[in-house]
Amino acid sequence: MLSELRDCDAYVFGDAMESETIDVSNLENARLVISTVGLKPLTEYLLSFPGTVDVIVRTRTLPMAASLIERGATYVIVPDLLAANQLTDNLEAFLNGDYDPNEIRVRNLQKFKVEDTMPQ
């Protein structure tokens, strides 16, 4: 997905905690904003563009995730929920015989190779 973004002329990839990133983002004209930072003031700011920008944000708790959806977030990242879903999928595949423990290890190790997923 990041390689596809590199071919796009209109995106900003940066640290949303830095004011410069927000300044150059032109949020008023954005179609999508993804923030993986679970910082409440930043989330509140991003949600101040309802109806014009699809906003994906992050939080730790399910009640807060529900509140953010109700307040206009398109999607809310809840890391523990995502991890639980991934664990369930892997366990089901293992128990169904779809792949063996070594395959699970290899797939998991591939995900931990961060240098392969970072933008150039």
Spell out the alpha helix ranges (H) of 50-114: 62-70, 79-95, 101-111
What percentage of the chain exceeds 70 in pLDDT?
A: 84
Q: Token pair of 14, please?
A: 């940066």
CA distance 87 to 93: 10
Residue ranges of the domains in the chain? Answer: 1-77, 79-120
Burial class of residue 38, CB neighbours in 10 A (0-12, 13-18, 19+)? middle
Instruction: Give me the mean pLDDT over the 12-33 stretch.
Output: 81
Q: pLDDT at position 120, please?
A: 47
- Token pair 């003031």: residue: 41
Q: pLDDT by residue (tens digit) across 66-105?
A: 999 999 999 999 999 999 998 898 888 888 988 888 887 8
pTM of the model: 0.72
Q: pLDDT by residue (tens digit) across 48-68?
A: 976 778 899 999 999 999 999
